């Protein structure tokens, strides 16, 4: 994958993760689930959105470890 496409993918994944984090912040502060309100509680589209957000969060964590300069020194990666 060329460097520009990788950067675009990381930005998309980060944006999806950020949207999920904002949703959970709203749940925590106001006890209001945005996606359940828009798509219906326990609906298939709502579950798909939550799965996409969860996978994006896992990808973000993976990218964070791969790009971590401390991890590169610790594991002697270049």
CA dist 43 and 34 (Å) reads 13
Distance spanning both ends of the chain, measured CA to CA: 18
Per-run averaged pLDDT (10 residues), the chain, 78 residues? 75 90 92 87 89 91 75 64
Angstrom CA distances, 76 to 6, 66, 73, stand at 23, 12, 5
The domain in which residue 59 lies consists of 3-74
Q: Judge contact between 75 and 67, C-beta under 8 A.
A: no
Residue 66 and residue 56 in contact, taking contact as beta carbons nearer than 8 Å: no
Domains contained in the chain, number? 1
pLDDT the model gives residue 74: 64
Structure tokens at 6: 């990788």
- pTM for the whole thing? 0.74
């Amino acid at each position: 994958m060329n460097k520009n496409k990788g950067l675009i993918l990381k930005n998309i994944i980060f944006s999806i993760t950020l949207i999920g984090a904002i949703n959970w912040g709203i749940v925590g502060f106001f006890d209001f689930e945005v996606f359940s309100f828009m798509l219906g509680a326990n609906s298939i589209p709502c579950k798909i959105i939550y799965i996409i957000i969860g996978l994006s969060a896992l990808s973000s964590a993976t990218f964070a470890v791969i790009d971590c300069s401390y991890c590169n020194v610790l594991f002697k990666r270049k």
